[in-house]
Amino acid sequence: MSARVLIVDDLYPNVRLLETKLSLEYFDVAVAMNGPDALAICEKGACDVVLLDVMMPGMDGFEVCRRLKSNPVTAHLPVVIVTALDQPADRLRGLDAGADDFLTKPIDDTALLTRVRSLVRLKAVTDELRSRALATREIGGPDPLALAAADTGEGARILLVEDRPSAIDRIGTALSQHHQVTVETDPHRALVRAPEGGFDLALVSLDLEGFDGLRLCSQIRSLERTRNMALIMIGEMHEKARITRGLDFGVNDYLLRPIDRNELIARVRTQVRRRRFSETLRGALQASMELAITDDLTGLHNRRYLDRHLGPVFGEAALQQKGLACLLLDIDRFKSINDTYGHEAGDEVLRAFAERIRQYVRPMDILARYGGEEIVMVVPGAELPDARAIAERIRERIEATPFAIDGGTRDIGVTVSVGVSVRRTTDTGPADLLKRADTALYRAKSSGRNRVEAAAA
Amino acid sequence: MSARVLIVDDLYPNVRLLETKLSLEYFDVAVAMNGPDALAICEKGACDVVLLDVMMPGMDGFEVCRRLKSNPVTAHLPVVIVTALDQPADRLRGLDAGADDFLTKPIDDTALLTRVRSLVRLKAVTDELRSRALATREIGGPDPLALAAADTGEGARILLVEDRPSAIDRIGTALSQHHQVTVETDPHRALVRAPEGGFDLALVSLDLEGFDGLRLCSQIRSLERTRNMALIMIGEMHEKARITRGLDFGVNDYLLRPIDRNELIARVRTQVRRRRFSETLRGALQASMELAITDDLTGLHNRRYLDRHLGPVFGEAALQQKGLACLLLDIDRFKSINDTYGHEAGDEVLRAFAERIRQYVRPMDILARYGGEEIVMVVPGAELPDARAIAERIRERIEATPFAIDGGTRDIGVTVSVGVSVRRTTDTGPADLLKRADTALYRAKSSGRNRVEAAAA
C-alpha cells in the first residue's frame, strides 16, 4: 500500500538520504526536524508511519515515541526508530518506549522497506476500523481510542509454538511473569488450538522439526477465526529471507535467536497492545450498534428491535404452522408509584421488573420494553396453555416478592397485569397478535388488575 | 497478506500446477472441480480469492462468475479467470461477467501472483468493514450486502488524468455513455481536484508528459480524502514492471494501450462496483450508529443523545460564562388527539410538530424528543429574552396553521405550551436547568395552555 511516511531527524543529510529511498518506492514523504514538529504532524493525522531518529536536541526520539504511544490520537501509528546508536541498551530503550522496531544505521534498505511496507499494510486494515470507531464517540460513552491507548499490554493469552526444550523454558519463563503462556510443540495441533484458546498472540518458531513454521503463520493469518491474532516469528539470523517473506504476508514482528529476554518482553507487549487496540475498536463499534436496539433504562431490547424482528418471527411461525404467543406485561398503578415515591423509585421498580421477567426467557424469545411501564414477550412455538402458564408464573413471582426502592432501604409491593394472545391462522400480520394481547391486557386491568387475561386461540 | 485461494478447474493437472505455485508462496489453497462446488465453498466464506477456469462440464466459468457477483454473500470475492481461451471475445465475456481479471494460459507466474496478492490486500481492508457491517443486519433495515450486490456500476463520477488528445477523446467518448467523466491533463491540478470532485474512480495515464503517473496514483492512494477512490492505470505493454509496482502499492487495475473500448467499460464497471460496495458498507455502519441516537417517529435526536450531550454543552457554557437556554415544548391535550382521532393521527401530529420546530434550530442547538409528546430544545448562547422570543414564535407558528391528519384529508388545530429556563451561575448541572423548564411548563399548562412561561434568569 502506498502511504505517508514521516521522517524525523535533525540532520538534513540523513533526511535527504531516507527521503530519496522512500520516494523512489512511491511513498509520500513528510519531514520533521525535531520532536515537537513530529508530534504536531502526527496529531494532525498527516502520516501513516514514523521513522524516528533518537539523538535530537530538545526532545529525543525515545520521548517522541513515548508521547506518540500514550496519546489516544496517535497511539496506532507504527514507529520505527532508525539510529546510529547500536548498544543493546539503546535498542531496548526504544522498544520499551513502544517502538515497533529499532533499526541501526547504516540501514539495510531491504530490511527498512520490508518493514515499512508490512507496517503500512497492517495499518491499512485497522485504519478502516479506526475511522468507523471514531464515529462512536458522537454517541457518547467511553472513548475507544483512549481505552486502547491506556492498555498496558500485560496479561495476554499467548500461544508458543516451539519444540526446542531450552527455548520453551527460556521464553516461557520470561513471558509467564506478564502473560499466560500455552506451549504447543506440534504445529498441527497448534493450528487446531489456535482458534480455540482465545489467544491474543502466537509466537511461532521457524525451525520446527520437520515443519515449516512460516506455513503455520500463513494459516493462522488466513483462517477466519484467527486472522486478527498477533503473530511473532522466532528465527535465526541466516533466515532473513524467510523472515522477510513472513512480514510480507502479514506476520507482525520477529525475534532472532539467541533471544534477548527484555527484547522479547518489549516486542510481545507492543504487539499485544496493537491487537487489543483493534479489539477495543471492534468492541466499541459492536456496542454502539447494540445501543440502537437497546432500552437504556432496563437493558432489554427496545421497541425498534421488536418492530423489526416480530415480522420475521411471525412469518416463520405462519410458514411452519407453529404456535406463537405474545404476552403484554404492565405494572399495576405505576403512575402512583412514581407520584408517591418519585421517579427514581419508579425507575428502580422498572429495572427490577425487567430483570425478573428476563429469567423466564429462552434465547429464541423476544423480550422488549414496549412503552413506559409495559414489556412485551414473544414466545415462538407456544400455544395458549403454555403462554398462560408462563404469564401466571411471572404474575405470581412479581406479587410474591416486594421490590426494593431508595437504594434498597425500603420495599414496596408491586403487581402486574398480563394480556396474552396466540397467533391465529386468520391473522394477517403481527399487528393482529399485538392488538389482541392489548385488548386482553385492558380486560385484566379493568377486572381488578394483578391478573392474567388471554384472548381466545 | 496470506489468504485462502480457491482454484476452480475440472482438470487435475491444471489444479495441481496452480496449487504448487500458490502453496510455495504461502497461500492456503482450496480446490473445486466444478461450478456448484465452487459456489458452495464461496458461500461458506471459506476463501478470499477465486481462480476460475472457464471450460468445465455443466456450469461454465462465466456462469460461476456471474452467480458469485450477483449473490450478496459472495459479491465481494475477487475473481480471476484463468483459461486457455485467448480470443478478445472470451476475455470480454469474462470481464462482463464481473471478473476482476482475465489471464490467458500459459500463465505468467509473476503476473498471476502480483495480481492475487494485490487483490488479497485490497480485500483485507474491506473485510474488516464487511464483518462490522454484517452486524448491522441484526438491527434491521435494508441489507447493505444486498444493496451493494445490486449496484449496476453505472453513473459514476470519473476523473480521467490523461494528456494525449486522441486517448482523451476515445476514453471520454466510451465512458461518457455510462458515467460522468472529468478530464484533467495536468497531474498537479489532478491531485488538487481529486479530493474535491466526489469521484468514485480515477483513470491515470502512466505516460504523462514530464510526470510519473504512478506517483500521482500513490499520492491519491495515500491522501486521507482520496484513499478509498478506485484507481486504474493506463500504460503500454512494455511498462509491465511499473504496472506491477502500481498493483503492489494498491492501484486496483490497469488497461494496456491500445485500449479496447469494451474492456475499458467492463473494468471500470467492476471497479466502480467494488468502490460502491465499500461505500455502501460504510454508509450502513454510519446509519446504524446514528439510529442509536435517533427517535424513530420524529427523526429528531432521542433522550439518549440529549443525556450524553447536554452535560458537555452545559459545562462549556459555564466555562465561558455564556448564556444557555432550555425550552420544553409540550403539545396541549395530546391524549385527547389520540383518543379522538386515533394513534395514527397522533403520530402524524407529532411528526409535523417536530418538523415545524426543526425550522427554528441552528446547527449548534440540541433538539431532542424528550418523552411522549414533549420536545426539548437547548440553545447555547441564548439569554432569557432571546429564548422567550424563540418560544413565542414557535407557539404562534403551531397555533397559526392547523395540522393535517388522516393522510392529509382533514385538519385539526393544535397548540403548544412551552417552559423556558436559562442557566444560572448557581446551577450545579444541566438537571437544574431542565427542572426549571419543567416547572415553567407546568405553570404554562395550569394557567390555560397555549402559552410560554419562563423561569427567572
Which pLDDT value is given to residue B320?
A: 93
Residue in B3, B132, B218 nearest the CB of A28: B218
Which CATH number does B151-288 carry? Answer: 3.40.50.2300
Q: Round to whole Å and give the CA distance between A244 and B26.
A: 13
Of all residues in chain B, the percent with pLDDT exceeding 90 is 81
Q: Round to whole Å and give the CA distance between B125 and B419.
A: 51
Write the pLDDT tens digit of every residue in A309-355.
999 999 999 999 999 999 999 999 998 998 899 888 999 999 999 99
Q: What is the mean pLDDT of residues B112-130?
A: 91
Determine the distance in angstroms separating the CA of B400 from the nearest CA of chain A, rounded to an integer.
Answer: 32
- Stretch 195-224 of chain B: residues touching chain A, C-beta under 8 Å: 214-215, 217-219, 221-224
**Winning range, highest mean pLDDT, from A288-302, A362-376, B80-94, B155-169:** B155-169
Predicted interface score ipTM higher than 0.90 = no
Helix axes B109-139, A261-291, angle to 10 degrees: 50
Q: Round to whole Å and give the CA distance between B384 and B366.
A: 17
Write the pLDDT tens digit of every residue in A244-281.
999 999 999 999 999 999 999 999 999 999 999 999 99
Q: Round to whole Å and give the CA distance between B257 and B234.
A: 7
Which pLDDT value is given to residue A328?
A: 97
A231 near B CB under 8 A: no
Judged against a pLDDT cut of 80, whether residue A432 lies above it is answered with yes
Write the pLDDT tens digit of every residue in B393-409.
999 999 999 999 988 88
Cell numbers describing residue B177: 455513455
| Contact call for residues A290 and B123 (beta carbons, < 8 A) | no
Write the pLDDT tens digit of every residue in B286-298.
888 888 889 989 9
Taking an 8 Å cut-off on Cβ atoms, the answer to whether A292 and B139 are in contact is yes
Q: A373 catalytic, yes or no?
A: yes
Taking an 8 Å cut-off on Cβ atoms, the answer to whether B135 and A289 are in contact is yes
CA dihedral over A303, A304, A307, A313, signed as positive or negative? negative
Write the pLDDT tens digit of every residue in B62-90.
999 999 999 999 999 999 999 998 888 99
A277 near B CB under 8 A: no
The pair phi, psi for residue B60, each rounded to 5°, is: -85, 170
Residue in A4, A285, A309 nearest the CB of B132: A285
Q: Round to whole Å and give the CA distance between B366 and B179.
A: 40
Average model confidence (pLDDT) across chain A? 93
Superfamily of domain A1-141: Response regulator (3.40.50.2300)
| Contact call for residues B394 and B361 (beta carbons, < 8 A) | no
Which residues have a Cβ under 8 Å from the Cβ of A398 and sit 6 or more positions away?
A353, A356, A414, A415, A416
Q: What is the mean pLDDT of residues A35-51?
A: 96
Domain B1-134 has CATH 3.40.50.1980: no
Cell numbers describing residue B237: 505493454
Of B289, B282, B283, nearest to A129 by C-alpha is B282
Q: A151-284: which CATH topology?
A: Rossmann fold (3.40.50)
- The string of DSSP codes covering A60-108 is -HHHHHHHHHHSTTTTTS-EEEEES---HHHHHHHHHTT-SEEEESSP-
Q: Round to whole Å and give the CA distance between B219 and B204.
A: 12
Preceding amide of A72 cis, omega within 30: no
Q: Do domains A1-141 and A151-284 have the same CATH topology?
A: yes
Helix/strand/coil (H, E, C) string of A194-206?
CCCCCCCEEEEEC
Q: What is the mean pLDDT of residues B339-343?
A: 90
Q: Round to whole Å and give the CA distance between B310 and A138.
A: 13
Q: Round to whole Å and give the CA distance between A417 and A330.
A: 5
Q: Round to whole Å and give the CA distance between B376 and B301.
A: 10
The catalytically annotated residue of A263, A348, A373, A374 is A373
**Vertex A405, ends A404 and A410: CA angle to 5°?**
70
Give the single-character DSSP code of B362. -
Domain ranges in chain A are 1-141, 151-284, 303-454
Judged against a pLDDT cut of 90, whether residue B358 lies above it is answered with yes
- Stretch 37-66 of chain A: residues touching chain B, C-beta under 8 Å: 45, 48
Taking an 8 Å cut-off on Cβ atoms, the answer to whether B126 and A126 are in contact is no
Buried b (16+ CB within 10 A) or exposed e, A397-408: ebeeeebebeee
Quickly state the pLDDT bin for A62 (edges 50, 70, 90). Answer: very high
Beta bridge partners of A230: A201
**What residue in A sits closest to B249 (Cα-Cα)?**
A1
Q: Round to whole Å and give the CA distance between A287 and A292.
A: 9
Summary count for chain A: helices (H), strands (E): 16, 17
Buried b (16+ CB within 10 A) or exposed e, B191-215: bebbeebebbbbbbbbbbeebebbb
Start-to-end CA distance of chain B, whole Å, equals 63
Q: Round to whole Å and give the CA distance between A346 and A405.
A: 8
Which pLDDT value is given to residue A407?
A: 83
Average model confidence (pLDDT) across chain B? 93
SS3 of residue B186 by DSSP = coil
Give the single-character DSSP code of A297. T
Give the single-character DSSP code of B406. G
Cell numbers describing residue B226: 482520496
Domain A303-454 has CATH 3.40.50.10800: no
